Every structure is written in C-alpha cells, then in structure tokens.
Chain A
Amino acid sequence: MSNIRRALDSWERGKERAPDRFTRSGIPVKALYTPLDVGGGYVDKLGFPGEYPFTRGIHGEMYRKRLWTIREFSGYGDAIETNRRLKYLLQQGETGLSIAFDYPTLLGLDSDDELSRGEFGRAGVGISTLDDMELMFQDIPLGTVSTSMTINGPAAVIWAFYILAAEHQGVLPAGLRGTIQNDILKEYMAQKSYIFPPEPSLKLVVDTIEYSSKALPQWNPISISGYHIREAGATAVQELAFTIANGLTYVEEAVGRGLDIDDFAPRLSFFFDSSIYFFEEIAKFRAARRIWAREIRSRHNPKKERSMWMRFHTQTSGVSLTAQQPENNIVRTAIEAMAAVLGGTQSLHTNAMDEAWGLPTELAATIALRTQQIIAEESGLPDTVDPAGGSYYLEWLTDKMEEEAYAYLDRINAIGGVVKGIKSGFFQREIAESSYKYQKEVEENKRIIVGVNAHIQGKTAEIPVLKVSERYERRQISRLKEYRRNRDDQKVRQALNHIQKVAWEENLMPGIMSAAKAGATLGEIIGTMKDVWGEYREPVIF
C-alpha cells in the first residue's frame, strides 16, 4: 500500500484539480480511486456470491444459471383488454407477469363508485370482483407463470381474488408463485395510495405474511419498495435507508405476532428504482444486500441463510424520462437497466419511451422488452457474477452508501421509528426537500437533462400514445351490475359482517376469501374494513 501511496502522491503533484463533482445523493466524487480507497476486509465486506453478506449477489452463479425475470408492468382498461395485452407480452418472450391497477382499485373502490369516475382503467386495469380477476387471467396458466401485482391498501382482497381465480383453474394455493406489493409504509411516505391508518394497515400486512407462510410457501406476500420513495424525489441514499427501515419494521411486527423469522423472512422481497446516475445505483443495490443481511442476522439470528437474502425487483426510473425528444428515453432506460443487472436484480421492468406522455403503446412496450433481451443475450453482462465488483470506485461508493444509510437508520431510530416518523411528517419532509433541491439544480443548469435544459430541439414531434377507450368502462360497469344481480346478497352480508367482527382479533385472510367467494366486491370488503378502522388523512407537507 505504501508504494501505491507514493505513486499516487507523485501522480497528483502538479495536477490542476478540477472542482469536485457530486453523485445524485450529494456524495463528493474524486478524480480517481485506487486500492487505498477500498481498504481490506474482502471476506467480511464482499465475500462470495451466495454467501454472507451477499454483497456480490444472493446466488453463487447468478445469471449464468438463471437470468433475471423479465417482467413488464402492464394493465389498462378492463380485465378483458388487459388479458389481451398480457398474452401479447408472454408471446413476445416476457417471463413473468406484472399487473398495474387503476386508481379506484388501488384505493379499494369499485369501478362504478362515484369517486371512480374518469379514473377507470386509466393508470392500470380496473378490478372489482373475483369474476374480473378470472377474466384477466383467462387462458393464462397460473400454475406455471408467476405474477406480480402492484397493489397495497387493498392487497389482501386482490390477493384473495387471485388465489380463488387460480383455484378455479385447478391450481392449488401452494403451487402459486408471485408477489403482492403490499408495502403500506411507503404509501404514507411517498406513493400515497393509503386507505386505513398505519396501525390497522400493518395488522393487515402481517395477516398476509402469516397466511402466506402457511398456505402459499412460494408466494412473496410483500415487496418492500424504495421505488416510489425515490420517484417522489428521494435520493438514492434515502431510498436505500427508508426501504430498509420499512423492511425492519415489518419484520418486527411479524416477529411480534409470534412468527418464526425463518418461516417468513425468506419470502420477503424488495423493489428498487434504477435511475440514471450509473455507479451510485449499482452501489446502492450492493449495499442494500449487505445491510439487510447484517441487520437480519444481528437482530433476529435466523437459522436459514435464505432469511438474510435480499431478493429484489427493479424498475428503471419513470421520473428520469423526458417528454422532450422521447426517443432519448430508450437510451436512458438501457443505461438504467444495465445498472440494475450489474447490481444483481432478480427481476426487471424497463420503462417505455412514451411514458412521460401516457401509458405505453404496444410498440413502445415491445422496445422496452427488447432492451432487456439485448442486455441479457447480446451484451455478455450475465456471463460472470458481479462483473463491476472490484472497481475501486464502485467498492468505495458501496461502502459510502452503506455508511450514509446507517446514518439515516440512526436518525429514524432516534425519532421513535418508522410509524412515528410518518405521522410527524419526517419522511415526507425529507423527500420534499430532496425533490425541491433537485428541481432547483435543474433550473440552475447544475444538473443537465438532455432535451430539457441542454441540447434543446424546439418543439417535440408528437408521438403516438395509448388511448384508453371509454368502451371498456361501459363494459366493466354493466358486467359489475350483472355480477351483483346474480349473487346471494344474504351470503355476502353474512361474510362482510364476519369481517367486521374479527377485523382486529383474527387473521382476516380466511374471512376475505369467504366474502370474495360469496360474491362480495372489492369496494364492499374494503368499505367494511373502513367502517371498523376509519380512513387516514395525511399531514400536508411541502
């Protein structure tokens, strides 16, 4: 090391130094990194893939053995139309499904609710009943495909619909593979699709974790998500820290109910953003695995190695896309997708170039899918494990991300934990502060966005966007009315009464399944829980 020191000193001597640069999280970046920045401790800090602390990956052979799952987030209009798009994506080589729901569904409202007007099928597919769920997956074999569903407040109900739809296909719950996002804490922090107050929401999340550990051992009952925190304006460091804090909160809640760490921790999954500042993203993923493994081991002492795995899905950054010169978004997405792969993701969604304008057209969605296929099959990135590992810069930055994340974890601890921080607006304020700072940097041209504040080309040519026909809404509402007419209202009422009675006392999953089977709608089931638990109003902070 001392001869490196000497050589470095002489290299630096007499050089005119350019001003410091900073990562997106504000970490200063030097001109050059050397072995002096990394230090020792290879086994302790990095180790081997598939071994603690999993910095280099959770599997020994990573993508040499199995590629990440190509999972394009999709859904619009009604169940019938979305079924068509899902089948198209599977035919094009997608390897897992990922469902986007519309706002009424995300908030537990039926498609014909007064508040749903104008929103049906716009930001995703509208699902109100078990029948809708069955139609969405018609002719898609749920015993072989895995499905990820981006649903939070009403996740338990949507999951019940899915389990029952699979049963009707002849697939038993134990054979189902997939994920419900079900991460309510980040809803209060960032995405804002909360329904109930935090305490009952957490109770319901633990119900699903407990239920899956018993009946659906291959299911991920939660996807602890940094994505939305980041997109709402957080830095990579904040995304990392808040996500891990949320994850540890769920673990404590589940352990608090008496669950054994090894019965549920292996099925906890995560979801991160991959934005455009390349190395900081790769470092974030690697630091995340290491912190999670360390914290689970030191706090909960699991027996299974898998309990310490951080498995995660990644989506490229929607916010990084520009409305101006939209074709440039293909390039941004490719860079972000590469960072996710170099970070060791388990599955990946690549955004389409037209998403600053609307939902993706079939062509734009296909290019996004092809981007992943090019990385997977042409670039050679999957040929060795953690190919960027060992870069002096990357290893230094991985350590730095870890250090900064721990500083946040200490602060969160000091303010009394995640739920307290949500109620006092701590997280919301931190995120608002970062997004404001970022916008200011863009306005002042300290951050360059090609096509926005540099290399501007005048008026952007209009690109085609997906039109969501109003025909879908009419079709959905008439089907929904028909569905309500054909059920036994007495049975529905009984099932809902039962949910109301046991909401706090028992695991709600069996009750929700019975209600869904009896024909209760999403809005009715969630409405019953609102009667017991009330609705959350957030402190407005900006």
Chain B
Amino acid sequence: MSGKRRIRVIIAKPGLDGHDRGAKVLARSLMERGFDVVYTGIRQTPDDIVRAAIEEDADVIGLSVLSGAHMYQFRRVARLMKQNKIEDVLLIGGGIIPESDRPKLARIGVSAVFGPGSSIDEISSFITSRCRRLK
C-alpha cells in the first residue's frame, strides 16, 4: 500500500425526507471502491453536514434529497461551505431533481447532479477525476 491518502467522502441527507436507499447504496459502493466514506444518516441540517465535512477533512460532500427541497437545502450547504472557507471541497448531489433546476444548482457550486439511473461507476469516476484536479 502506498501512503497516499484515500479520497474522503461525506454522504449526507439534508432536510426531512427519509428516502435513504440511494445514499446508502452509494456510500457502501464507494467504500468498496476504496474511498473513505462517512454516511451521516437522515434529517441532517446543513450545519451538521458542513461541520462533519470540516471534522472529517472531507474532499467531497454528496447530498441526497428526494423531497423536492433540493434548491433550498443545497443552497444552504453551499453558502455554509463558503462561510467556512471549504468551497474547495467537491459538492455533488443526487435525488429526484428536475432538469430545469440543474443549471441553477451548477451556479451555486454543485458540480454534478446524479439522478435515478446514474451508475456507481459514473459517480466514482467523476469524483476521482475532479479530486485529482482539485489537488
């Protein structure tokens, strides 16, 4: 094993919805692919999530929302990241998110949105390529 640090990912569910299937499958799949993964559980506030990202020294925050509250929740997380000067952490999202919201999410700093039908390979190679670029 090389001493190289593994990419550290926080998978989080902000807001009130309990649809955690996607978040859990992704967390476990990324772990099996060699990422360091922390899954926060459901009903996290943006503060909880950003605090966890700082404490864990995360490279990536992945947010999952299926209740339609993604604009509000993602925006709050992005704002807190900026306030805490961790906007270099890669922010990605997933869930039931209409196409028309994606450009708006991109503008606030969400680098990619993975909806239903996204493959784990697609997500993990996106993370790997972007993290390499950030470093």
Chain A residues at the B interface, C-beta cutoff of 8 Å: 102-104, 106-107, 109, 115-119, 122-123, 187, 191-193, 231-233, 319, 321-324, 355-359, 432, 435-436, 439-440, 442-443, 449, 451-453, 462, 465, 468, 538, 540, 542
Other-chain contact of B69, A119, A231, A321, A357 (Cβ < 8 Å): A119
Closest CB of chain A to B67's CB: distance in Å? Answer: 5
Q: What residues of A have a CB within 8 angstroms of the CB of B97 in the complex? A: 357
A449→B117 contact, CB < 8 A: yes
B73→A232 contact, CB < 8 A: no
Closest CB of chain B to A539's CB: distance in Å? Answer: 9
B99→A106 contact, CB < 8 A: no
Given contacts A118-B72, A233-B21, A358-B68, contact A439 B120 (CB under 8 A): yes
Closest CB of chain B to A44's CB: distance in Å? Answer: 39
Other-chain contact of A465, B42, B98, B116 (Cβ < 8 Å): B98
Q: Would you mind naming 28 contact pairs between A and B with Cβ atoms under 8 Å apart?
A: A107-B16, A117-B72, A119-B17, A119-B68, A122-B68, A122-B69, A123-B68, A232-B20, A232-B21, A321-B116, A322-B117, A324-B117, A355-B96, A357-B99, A358-B98, A432-B24, A432-B28, A435-B21, A436-B24, A436-B25, A436-B29, A439-B120, A442-B119, A465-B98, A465-B100, A468-B68, A542-B24, A542-B28
Q: A115-B16, A357-B98 given; name 19 further pairs at CB < 8 Å.
A: A103-B16, A118-B72, A119-B72, A191-B19, A192-B20, A232-B20, A321-B116, A322-B116, A356-B116, A432-B28, A436-B24, A436-B25, A443-B120, A449-B117, A462-B100, A465-B99, A540-B41, A542-B20, A542-B28
Instruction: Give B74-130 interface residues, CB cut-off 8 Å to A.
Output: 96-100, 115-117, 119-121
B15→A356 contact, CB < 8 A: no
Q: What residues of A have a CB within 8 angstroms of the CB of B41 in the complex? A: 538, 540
Given contacts A104-B16, A435-B25, A542-B24, contact A356 B67 (CB under 8 A): no
Given contacts A123-B17, A231-B21, A465-B100, contact A118 B71 (CB under 8 A): yes
Q: What residues of A have a CB within 8 angstroms of the CB of B35 in the complex? A: none
Q: In the bound complex, how far is the Cα of B57 from the Cα of A528, in angstroms?
A: 39
Is B34 part of the contact surface with A, judged by Cβ < 8 Å?
A: no
Given contacts A118-B72, A192-B18, A321-B116, contact A123 B67 (CB under 8 A): yes
Q: What residues of B have a CB within 8 angstroms of the CB of A319 in the complex? A: 21
Instruction: Give B6-45 interface residues, CB cut-off 8 Å to A.
Output: 15-21, 23-25, 27-29, 39-42
Given contacts A192-B42, A357-B99, A462-B100, contact A452 B117 (CB under 8 A): yes
Q: In the bound complex, how far is the Cα of B71 from the Cα of A117, in angstroms?
A: 11
Q: In the bound complex, how far is the Cα of B120 from the Cα of A96, in angstroms?
A: 40
Q: What residues of B have a CB within 8 angstroms of the CB of A451 in the complex? A: 117
Q: What residues of A have a CB within 8 angstroms of the CB of B69 in the complex? A: 103, 118-119, 122
Q: In the bound complex, how far is the Cα of B36 from the Cα of A88, in angstroms?
A: 50
Closest CB of chain A to B86's CB: distance in Å? Answer: 22
Chain A, residue nearest B74 (CB): A118
Q: What residues of B have a CB within 8 angstroms of the CB of A116 in the complex? A: 16
Q: In the bound complex, how far is the Cα of B96 from the Cα of A102, in angstroms?
A: 15
Chain A, residue nearest B25 (CB): A439
Chain A, residue nearest B120 (CB): A443
Chain B, residue nearest A465 (CB): B98
Q: What residues of A have a CB within 8 angstroms of the CB of B121 in the complex? A: 443
Q: In the bound complex, how far is the Cα of B70 from the Cα of A123, in angstroms?
A: 12
Chain B, residue nearest A466 (CB): B98
Chain A, residue nearest B37 (CB): A542
Closest CB of chain A to B41's CB: distance in Å? Answer: 4
Closest CB of chain B to A495's CB: distance in Å? Answer: 26
> For the complex, would chain B's binding face be called helix, strand, loop or mixed by DSSP majority?
loop
Q: What residues of A have a CB within 8 angstroms of the CB of B16 in the complex? A: 103-104, 106-107, 109, 115-116, 119
Q: In the bound complex, how far is the Cα of B118 from the Cα of A451, in angstroms?
A: 11
B17→A103 contact, CB < 8 A: yes
B115→A356 contact, CB < 8 A: yes
Closest CB of chain B to A26's CB: distance in Å? Answer: 18
Closest CB of chain A to B123's CB: distance in Å? Answer: 11
Q: In the bound complex, how far is the Cα of B21 from the Cα of A322, in angstroms?
A: 15
Q: In the bound complex, how far is the Cα of B98 from the Cα of A468, in angstroms?
A: 12
Closest CB of chain A to B120's CB: distance in Å? Answer: 6
Looking at B23, B71, B96, B119, the one whose CB has the most chain A CB atoms below 10 A away is B96
Q: In the bound complex, how far is the Cα of B40 from the Cα of A158, in angstroms?
A: 30
Given contacts A439-B25, A439-B29, contact A193 B18 (CB under 8 A): yes
Q: In the bound complex, how far is the Cα of B72 from the Cα of A187, in angstroms?
A: 25
Closest CB of chain A to B39's CB: distance in Å? Answer: 6
Closest CB of chain A to B51's CB: distance in Å? Answer: 16
Looking at B40, B67, B72, the one whose CB has the most chain A CB atoms below 10 A away is B67
Q: What residues of A have a CB within 8 angstroms of the CB of B39 in the complex? A: 540, 542
B120→A118 contact, CB < 8 A: no
Closest CB of chain B to A154's CB: distance in Å? Answer: 13
Other-chain contact of A119, B27, B67, B98 (Cβ < 8 Å): B67
Q: What residues of A have a CB within 8 angstroms of the CB of B18 in the complex? A: 187, 191-193
Q: In the bound complex, how far is the Cα of B43 from the Cα of A106, in angstroms?
A: 13
A323→B115 contact, CB < 8 A: yes
Chain A, residue nearest B121 (CB): A443
Q: In the bound complex, how far is the Cα of B84 from the Cα of A465, in angstroms?
A: 35
Closest CB of chain B to A138's CB: distance in Å? Answer: 25
A357→B117 contact, CB < 8 A: no
Chain B, residue nearest A190 (CB): B18
Closest CB of chain A to B126's CB: distance in Å? Answer: 15
Q: What residues of A have a CB within 8 angstroms of the CB of B42 in the complex? A: 192, 538
Q: What residues of A have a CB within 8 angstroms of the CB of B98 in the complex? A: 357-358, 465
Q: In the bound complex, how far is the Cα of B15 from the Cα of A439, in angstroms?
A: 25
Other-chain contact of A542, B27, B66, B117, B119 (Cβ < 8 Å): B27
Closest CB of chain B to A131's CB: distance in Å? Answer: 23
Q: In the bound complex, how far is the Cα of B23 from the Cα of A468, in angstroms?
A: 25
Q: What residues of B have a CB within 8 angstroms of the CB of A115 in the complex? A: 16
Chain A, residue nearest B18 (CB): A192
Closest CB of chain B to A46's CB: distance in Å? Answer: 35
Q: In the bound complex, how far is the Cα of B72 from the Cα of A122, in angstroms?
A: 11
Chain A, residue nearest B68 (CB): A122
Q: What residues of A have a CB within 8 angstroms of the CB of B120 in the complex? A: 439, 443
Looking at A106, A115, A122, A432, the one whose CB has the most chain B CB atoms below 10 A away is A122
